[in-house]
Amino acid sequence: MEDKLELEIVALSHSITQSHSYAVVLGEKEGKRRLPVVIGGNEAQAIAVALEKMNSSRPLTHDLMKNILDQFEIQLNEVVISNLQDGIFYAQLVCEKDGETYEIDSRTSDAIALAVRFNCPIYSYEFIMDSAGVIMEEEGEEGQREAEEAQAKQPEQSSSENFSQLSKEELNNKLNEALEKEEYEKAIKIRDEINRRKEGS
């Protein structure tokens, strides 16, 4: 098998190609190519909650999976996006227990959500990057990049419009309330507003 390429999450936004879907954009750590992966809303929420380091009142499915692996002393060492067939990505969880390595098939979105929680590396292969990767600096990708950037700004603008009149204490109360009700999209918007004020102060 060819050498693996390490990737990192560089963006999470609404998909510009499929409505009601999201895209997690993975970028080469040692290169300029990007690998956009279309995922569902629940999976996007699971990734976003972990990236934002939010604590939910009850464990989400991927938190539960991590808790189970931790309880049985199974370590997730890495995630590998191992294949691409008919536009569908396939992934594997590379786990270790008692010195033995196990590879478990996984949906790519679930694998990424777990990788964020375990803080483990994400890899793929050259043939996948050749087939589905894009170089964002290329002229042909300029429109896509601008659209993704515009969409990425929308939640921030929305959070500013909805929560800009609230005091810091009110924002914290609403954040806790949103987490209690498991309204994670709302919680992320409130967190963005709190962070925006911290940066401005």
Radius of gyration of the chain (CA): 18
Amino acid 182: pLDDT: 66
- Is there a contact between 194 and 172 (Cβ–Cβ < 8 Å)? yes
Amino acid 136: pLDDT: 66
> From CA 61, how far away is CA 65, in angstroms rounded?
6
Q: SS3 string of the chain? A: CCCEEEEEEEEEEECCCCCCCEEEEEEECCCCEEEEEEECHHHHHHHHHHHCCCCCCCCCHHHHHHHHHHHCCCEEEEEEEEEEECCEEEEEEEEEECCEEEEEEEEHHHHHHHHHHHCCCEEEEHHHHHHHCEECCCHHHHHHHHHHHHHHHHHHHHHHHHHCCCCHHHHHHHHHHHHHCCCHHHHHHHHHHHHHHHHHC
**Which residue reads 């009850």 in tokens?**
58
Domains in the chain, start-ordered, CATH in brackets?
A: 4-135 (3.10.690.10), 147-200 (no CATH)
Amino acid 119: pLDDT: 96
pLDDT single digits (tens) 28-56: 998 889 999 989 888 888 898 899 888 77
Low-confidence residues in the chain, pLDDT < 50: 138-141, 143-144, 146-161
Its pTM stands at: 0.70
Amino acid 139: pLDDT: 39
Distance of CA 80 to the CA centre of its chain: 15
Distance of CA 70 to the CA centre of its chain: 21
